[in-house]
Amino acid sequence: MAVDGAAAGVLRPHAEHAFARELGALRAADDRPRPPRWQLSPWGVATYLLGGTLPDGTVITPKYVGPRRIVEVAIATLATDRALLLLGVPGTAKTWVSEHLAAAVSGDSTLLVQGTAGTPEEAIRYGWNYARLLADGPSADALVASPVMRAMAEGRTARVEELTRIPADVQDSLITILSEKTLPIPELGQEVQAVRGFNLIATANDRDRGVNELSSALRRRFNTVVLPLPATPEDEIDIVSRRVDQLGRSLGLPTAPDGGDEIRRVVTVFRELRSGLTTDGRTKVKSPSGTLSTAEAISVVTGGLALAAHFGDGLLRPGDVAAGILGAVVRDPAADRIVWQEYLETVVRERDGWQDFYRACREVTR
């Protein structure tokens, strides 16, 4: 697939630039009704996310691989007055889906607030340019709008990443915004009222639950959509192959003609360790402490491709992914190493066709 907007040497173009050609073709082909200020109809947004072929033959690549209904519910939510909360374990494409939804709905995925324990209220509401504030006092010119404020004023999609990491009192500044659709500016005696088309997508990790549990008042403003881990090995292999291909392209790595075997192997190892059971259902294995997410599988394979390209013969081989797998599996040097060694000796060693891989793993594990 050609990444349209890879021009200008930007390392990671925003979705609306990387897929500008697909979005343009969709806009031209999409004759269904669009909600106010949406760039596409809900059908067009779903096609952008899930992929398809347009009447003129343009191929829309799938961005998200997973249940269609989940994507439809997410998109339908954005067309209502409720905000969207994407929930799931790390690496289930919450950030990825949020970026692509914003790109498809508003043509702009950059109105983004990154949630951390240190996110201040100004990042969600507004701040001040202090030089101007001191010189002229509070004025519209001295005000620095947050991405959320801009999304409200322009009728676009705002994004809040890792909502549950934000301190509870700062989270609560979203309640008025989401329920009243207004953001008061008492210093100026004004308010910014959200224009039609405004909505907000937040992401949160399952594993963070309890860090700053969402207040029930805020939770009620959201429709929650849970993104699952890929259902089958084939789905996961498909996701990893696609993303590795795209990433390799943007990093200028030569494409490996035959990385398929190693991708299957990485995905198999990750899925078995994650689920605690071998694929054939016969052997129980212990799970390590890390998440072993699809995102990590993508990193392992991309790292392996760089090794193969720069230090090997360009073909992805077991030795190129072994160290990466070890790094992903062994997070806690003591407990995880035992889990890994046990898996290596009881499962990998005995498996047909896995001898090279076993040797490569032994070499890096010692």
Ligand X SMILES: Nc1ncnc2c1ncn2[C@@H]1O[C@H](COP(=O)(O)OP(=O)(O)O)[C@@H](O)[C@H]1O
The answer to whether residue 302 forms part of the interface with ligand X (CB under 6 A) is: no
Q: Which residue is nearest to Mg ion (CB)?
A: 95
Residue with tokens 């961005």: 63
Least gap, CB of 93 to Mg ion (angstroms): 8
Cα 245 off chain centre by: 17
Q: In this chain, which of 17, 34, 94, 271 binds ligand X, going by CB under 6 A?
A: 94
Q: Measured from the CB of residue 222, what is the shortest distance to ligand X in angstroms?
A: 16
Interface with ligand X: number of residues (CB under 6 A): 18
Check residue 324 for interaction with ligand X (CB under 6 A): no
Q: Check binding of 13 to ligand X (CB under 6 A).
A: no
Region binding ligand X by CB under 6 A among candidate stretches 48-56, 69-77, 291-299, 350-358: 291-299
Within 119-158, the residues that bind ligand X by CB under 6 A are: none
Q: Is residue 95 at the binding interface for ligand X, with CB under 6 A as the rule?
A: yes
The least distance separating ligand X from the CB of residue 43, rounded to whole angstroms, comes to 20
User: Does the protein bind ligand X through residue 107 (CB under 6 A)?
Assistant: no
| Residue with Cβ nearer ligand X (47 or 92) | 92
Contacts with Mg ion, residue ranges (CB under 5 A): 94-95
Contact 186, 139 (CB under 8 A): no
CB 293 → ligand X: shortest distance, Å?
A: 7
Nearest to ligand X of 266, 298 (CB atom): 298
Q: Which of 239, 266, 326, 339 binds ligand X (CB under 6 A)?
A: 239
C-alpha span between 128 and 344 (Å, rounded):
57
Q: How far is the CB of 183 from ligand X (least distance, A)?
A: 26
Tokens describing residue 279 = 């694929």
Alpha-carbon gap, residue 190 to 166, rounded angstroms:
26
Q: To which residue do tokens 């200008």 refer?
A: 8
Is the distance from CB of 215 to CB of 168 less than 8 angstroms?
yes
Which residue from 13, 88, 107, 259 is in contact with ligand X, where contact means CB under 6 A?
88
* Range 134-140 contact pairs with CB under 8 angstroms and sequence separation of 24 or more: 138/187, 138/188, 139/188, 140/188, 140/190
Q: Is 182 helix (H, G, I), strand (E, B) or coil?
A: strand
Q: Show the CA angle centred on residue 353, arms to residues 347 and 357, nearest 5°.
A: 65
Q: Which does 93 bind (CB under 5 to 8 A by kind): Mg ion, ligand X, none?
A: ligand X
Residues sharing a CB contact under 8 Å with residue 114, sequence separation 6 or more, in sequence order: 161, 162
- Distance between CA atoms of 212 and 292, rounded to whole angstroms? 24
Euclidean distance between CA atoms 28 and 312, whole angstroms: 45
Q: Check residue 303 for interaction with ligand X (CB under 6 A).
A: no
Applying CB under 6 A, among 20, 45, 49, 65 the residue interacting with ligand X is 65
Instruction: Tally Cβ neighbours within 10 Å of residue 169.
Output: 10
Binding site for ligand X (CB under 6 A): 64-66, 88, 90-96, 203, 230, 239, 243, 294-295, 298
